[in-house]
Amino acid sequence: SMSRKGNCWDNASMETFFGHMKDELDYKNCTSLEELRVCVNEYITFYNSDRYQWTLKKMTPDEFRSHLIAA
């Protein structure tokens, strides 16, 4: 768990991310730990820069962060 003791809301965003990653990342085809690291890093970049999310006003996390900073 990545949340503080007794506070399940801290963990919700991480659980959502890991759920999406397990569904979308083709990790079973990785043949080495290094190959898995590369796949995970590429997925994180994709998730933050290219994957639009309904809960972020149909923006990527990077776009949403820039939107909040500019406001």
Domain total in the chain: 1
Count of CA atoms in the C-beta half-sphere (13 A) of 48: 9
Q: Give the pLDDT score at 71.
A: 72
Residue 9 has pLDDT above 90, yes or no: no
Query: Which of 6-10, 14-18, 32-36 has the highest average model confidence (pLDDT)?
Result: 32-36
In a domain, 16, yes or no: yes
In a domain, 27, yes or no: yes
Write out pLDDT tens, residues 27-64.
Answer: 999 999 999 999 999 999 999 999 999 889 899 999 99
- 8, 13, 18, 19 alpha-carbon torsion, rounded to 10°: 80
In a domain, 56, yes or no: yes
Give the chain's radius of gyration (CA, Å). 14
Report, as an integer, the average pLDDT of 63-67: 93
User: The whole model's pTM is what?
Assistant: 0.76
In a domain, 43, yes or no: yes
Domain holding 56, by residue range, is 12-70
